[in-house]
Structure formats: C-alpha cells, structure tokens
Chain A
Amino acid sequence: SQQGEEDPQALSIQEGENATMNCSYKTSINNLQWYRQNSGRGLVHLILIRSNEREKHSGRLRVTLDTSKKSSSLLITASRAADTASYFCATDYNNDMRFGAGTRLTVKP
C-alpha cells in the first residue's frame, strides 16, 4: 500500500523558475527519500534525509523534513527542461519502503 500523499499531483512551470513538491506520510520513519522517474524508466535516487535531520541540500535540490507534521518538501531551484519527470517521495522504516503518489513536473523551455 502507498504511504502518503504528494501535492501537487501535477506541476507545470517555466524554465528558470523554482518547483516545490510536498509529501505527507502517516507512520514512523527512519528516513525519507526522494526519487525521480522519467517516463517508462526506473527510478533514480535524488536525496535521503534522516528522521533526525530537518534540511538537506544537494546541488539545486533542497529537501526539508518536519516529523511533527509528518511532511517533507522538495525544492528544485532554477529548473531546466531536463528536470521534466515524475518525482516520488518514499518513506523508509526498518527496510520497509513505501512510495507517495508522485508529482508530475513539466518544465517548459
């Protein structure tokens, strides 16, 4: 079963703008991960944030985690057309990983 919700379900922005995706979950976690999936392909790991961390950066990616609200956000700054993909959050608890519904991001050139 899926773990939680992501919003928005779809997001369309212009190149150069920032994209923010949110993820809410329901249970305890050891860590939360964000993945990217191009259409019809496998998933690529983007970033992992542990339950005791609040914010993490990797290049143009910024992830926040609020365990009190059971929510996380992924910010992609200065978006590019190549960032067009589906983005999924996944919660990991004792090796049990569950995915959110995903956000389909379209970046227009």
Chain B
Amino acid sequence: GAVVSQHPSWVICKSGTSVKIECRSLDFQATTMFWYRQFPKQSLMLMATSNEGSKATYEQGVEKDKFLINHASLTLSTLTVTSAHPEDSSFYICSARDPGRVSYGYTFGSGTRLTVV
C-alpha cells in the first residue's frame, strides 16, 4: 500500500535555530502533500498544501516566512521551521494521497514531535 515516511520522528532544538522535517512518499508520486500541526489532545490543523514545482498554499494565520515548505520532487516535501521558539513546539504531520488509490484516503507520516527549548 501507499507509504509516507516522515523524518525525524522527534527533534529537540534550541530557541532561534531552524529545523527541517522531511516527508517522502515511498511507493507513489505525490504532486500534492499536506502539512498539519497538532497540539496535545487536539485535532489536526492544516498548515499548508505543498505543491510540486510551485509555491505552497498556506492557511490563514500561518506565517509562510516561518514555516518554509519546499516540494522539489514528486516524492519529497520538506517543512523548515525557521527561528524556532518554544511556542512552535508541537506535533507536525504530513500526508499525501496515492492518485492510484483514491478510495483508500490519505496516507499520513508518523509525525515529528518538535520541542524547542
């Protein structure tokens, strides 16, 4: 089945540094990937839609200069949290859908727990 690999699974960084999170579709090509953020015991909030070869579409209230998204290939999207601060600590999850398996919904990465100290 469709597999999405997300790396790293957890990261601790110092305030002011940048962190890059990778999301790879392993056995299918994804022209579109999605990035979500989830706070403890809350639902997933869509941050941005990552489009291969073009600029990402950000949700209202999400700072595009802080959360840099690059979707340079059909199998890789990256989210870079720039100048991270403690309030950026959260669980970040990516997803994609295999165009050949639409009825199976979206496949999610295992998530990245970011802790900014």
Contact = CB atoms under 8 A, between A and B. Distances in A.
Interface stretch (A11-19, A65-73, A76-84, A93-101): A93-101
B93 A42 contact: yes
B107 A45 contact: yes
A32 B95 CA distance: 16
Q: Which of B34, B93, B97, B106 has the most CB of A within 10 A?
A: B106
Interface residues of B, number: 27
Contacts of A33: 105-106
A2 interface: yes
Interface of B: 6, 32, 34, 36, 41-46, 49, 59-60, 91, 93, 95, 97, 103-111, 113
A75 to B, nearest CB: 18
Given A1-B59, A45-B105, A100 B111 contact: no
20 contacts: A1-B60, A2-B45, A35-B108, A41-B110, A43-B93, A45-B105, A45-B106, A45-B108, A48-B103, A48-B104, A48-B105, A88-B44, A95-B49, A95-B97, A97-B106, A99-B36, A99-B43, A99-B45, A101-B43, A102-B42
Given A1-B59, A97-B34, A40 B105 contact: no
A42 B109 CA distance: 6
Contacts of A45: 104-108
A interface bracket (residues with beta carbon within 8 Å of B): 20 to 34
Contacts of B103: 48
Contacts of B32: 95
Contact of B111 (A35, A42, A102): A42
B46 A101 contact: no
Contacts of A95: 32, 49, 97
Nearest to A48: B105
Contacts of B105: 33, 35, 45, 47-48
